[in-house]
Amino acid sequence: MTRNTPNSFSPRYLESPIREDLGRKMVFIGGPRQVGKTTLALNLLGESEESKSYLNWDDIADREKILKREIRSDSSLIIFDEIHKFADWRGLLKGLYDTRKSKQSFLVTGSARLDYYRKGGDSLQGRYHYYRLHPISLGESISSKLGLTAGDLIQFGGFPEPLSLQDERSARRWRRERRERVLREDLRDLENVREVSKLELLVTHLPECVGSPLSIDALRKLLQVSHESVARWITIFENLYLCFRISPYGSKKIRAVKKEQKLYFWDWAAISSSGSRFENLVACQLLKFCHFREDTEGHDMELRFLRDTDGREVDFVVLQDGEPLFAVECKTGEARRSSSISYFLERTPIPKWYQVHLGNKDYGEPSTEGRVLPFAQFCKELNMP
């Protein structure tokens, strides 16, 4: 494909629901560093409005305006970027919203700290909707006609900058610099952690754990620290939008594992193994589907995996309001249908089963035998965001 710029990946999949919600409440946008939150916010403004309606706490001039409460009242939309770094950010937003909501809309973007701090008090409760912006996915490329293939996404990931450059060397440098900024800047803002070097070692090793049961004990031995420390550090990584974990799904007629977890990265291009990278890509697509339904429709969504004590496994199960919607198995090649699908199909209440791959074969019926189909076709038919 031709070389793009990050701005060319527009409109993003959240733009339409955000525009709709801005007419009712404030909107907060969270998500990983450099996923495109600011670009999405600015796309909601006209070019003539940007200079007077966008305020970034990290900009000295904008910071002065915020501290002096010099917020323009003649703009229909005001965007605050990184405002959560201001000690009284909740009070500022509450006052503005309560006095101007009939004539002005407010959009707030920020890093992991915004997500963390917004949960720490209820002074803004009922005044905003929260959205989680995900990396660009195959589903988004198809629905928004971005022109990206599964191969593009597998090779460069879903973050706009490396995906737009389409260059391995630039992508490696971007990935390294982003990891360092997250661990040095975002970590410092969010947590009081002294053993940064240990966390750096952990985050460089974790990609090798993708696709397998996560062993905290093995990581504890590798780092020579306590079990509690490793568990806490991985939770910190989740709060920083570096990785996420999923838990097992159980059913009465199977002996499902109960305590195991699997770990995946928001930036799947950090995974060296091709099979694990594809599985991570699918995990991110399904998590994005879950978060989109939660953030736009209010459903309680869960992403889980299915494994029994005899080692049979299906990679993912998606649940809505406590009930399974469908299960997904990942294969990079056009392999025959997994025997685990046939086994679990007869013993669980999961209504639909899919096996996705990177080839062209498409056969089977999802509710009676399991459907084997290309990942792109799966995303298209299930309206993946």
pTM: 0.94
Query: What rounded mean pLDDT belongs to the chain?
Result: 92
Say if residues 261 and 214 touch (Cβ distance below 8 Å).
yes
Look at residue 247 in the predicted model and tell me its pLDDT. 97
Look at residue 1 in the predicted model and tell me its pLDDT. 43
Q: What is the arithmetic mean of pLDDT over 199-220?
A: 94
Look at residue 195 in the predicted model and tell me its pLDDT. 79
pLDDT grade, residue 264 (50/70/90)? Answer: very high
CA distances from 383 to 32, 135, 138, 378 (A): 23, 16, 11, 8
Q: Does the pLDDT at position 95 exceed 60?
A: yes
pLDDT grade, residue 51 (50/70/90)? Answer: low
> Between these two residues, 184 and 235, which has the higher pLDDT value?
235
> Between these two residues, 303 and 256, which has the higher pLDDT value?
303
Fold of the domain built from segment(s) 6-132: Rossmann fold (3.40.50)
Query: Which part of the chain has CATH 3.40.50.300?
Result: 6-132
pLDDT grade, residue 2 (50/70/90)? Answer: very low
Q: What is the arithmetic mean of pLDDT over 69-78?
A: 92
